[in-house]
Structure 1
């Protein structure tokens, strides 16, 4: 599989704080690549750096062999990268319908097909189509956030902590939906729920103290108790 996204020795500061101190990873087209690590390791900052929200101070970020490190966020989004932030980022005062329309780059036939697909994937959104985003449950807000990123013809989705704060039954629904979406788009996933991450992911990268320290096929991490214990705090 071809490499779609590559980070090479990426460093990022937030104010005076040196958050990313050497991030290296590759994302292969058609796969789910999972970024793992303890809280504060730099996973969210990595996604934000890819999107240009926290610009990299050093290193290289290439997408489809094009350097994007210095591009503004809206140009990066136009390249075909959708972003689902950790805080979901929906508009609470807009309805589900209005949230989706704001997110759409256009309303052509292809976008309408993707909208129909995503509403079939998340039937709650169709059920509450005229309901304000702020009145949705936590799980429904997460579904809306993912749907807004997916509705456009994006070649890649960056999804940050989709299971955070959700009940187990809702986590299963979100996980099943991402499993279906991976058939149509490349995904970079930040996820603390190892069961979810290991079920969905094809490859993993472990980030520790702002650096990439381990990577490989997900099956390797499933079988390595010591690595999981040392870097993720789980047996």
Structure 2
């Protein structure tokens, strides 16, 4: 299985703060790679660095053999990366339909098919198609954010904390939706909910103090009580 995305010893500053101090990882095509670690470890910054929102000061970000760390965010997005930010990033004043139209890059038959598949996958979006985004519940907003990233022919989705702030029943719905999408695309997922992360993920990278400290299959991590206790605080 070939690597779709590779980060090599990436370092990133936000202002004067040295957030990423050596993150390396490989994302294999067709898998869900989960980034794990405590709050403030650098997981969100890793996704933002891939997208060029917080550019890398050192190291390389390689997508399908091409270095992209010096490109502007819009160019990175056009290369087939969809981004679901932690704050969802939807337009509260636009309807669900309008939010989707803004996201669509190409109006063609393939996009229409993808949109129909998405609305079958996220039936709440079809139900509230003409309602403003701000009318939706937290879980429904998360579904809309994921749908906006997936409607284009993106080979890679970066999804940041999809369960954050959601009630348990909505966490289950979002998890079910991502499980359906994972059969269609490659995903890098940041998620604090270990139950969700371990259910969806194929492999993991552990980030601590801005560095990659361990990686392996999700099954290996499930059995490693010491690592879960040390880096995730799971007793």
Normalising by structure 2, report the TM-score.
0.99
Deviations 1:136-191 (A, max 9, x none): 11011000000000000000000000000111111111111111111110000000
Tell me how large the CA RMSD over aligned residues is: 0.4
Q: Where do 4+ consecutive residues of structure 1 move more than 6 Å? A: none
Which residue in 1 is equivalent to 2:126? 126
1:171 aligns with 2:171: yes
The 2-side partners of 1:20 and 1:118 are apart by 34
- Give the length in aligned residue pairs: 235
Following superposition, the deviation at residue 106 of structure 1 comes to 1.3
Which residue in 1 is equivalent to 2:10? 10
The 1-side partners of 2:72 and 2:233 are apart by 36
Q: What does 1:1-235 align with in structure 2 at a 5 Å threshold?
A: 1-235=1-235
Following superposition, the deviation at residue 112 of structure 1 comes to 0.5
Deviations 1:105-159 (A, max 9, x none): 0110010011001100110000000100011110110000000000000000000
Instruction: Determine helix, strand or coil for the equivalent of 1:152.
Output: coil
The 2-side partners of 1:181 and 1:143 are apart by 11
The 1-side partners of 2:201 and 2:181 are apart by 12
Where structure 2 has 5 or more consecutive residues not aligned to the other structure, the ranges are none
Normalising by structure 1, report the TM-score.
0.99
Where structure 1 has 5 or more consecutive residues not aligned to the other structure, the ranges are none
The 1-side partners of 2:184 and 2:87 are apart by 24
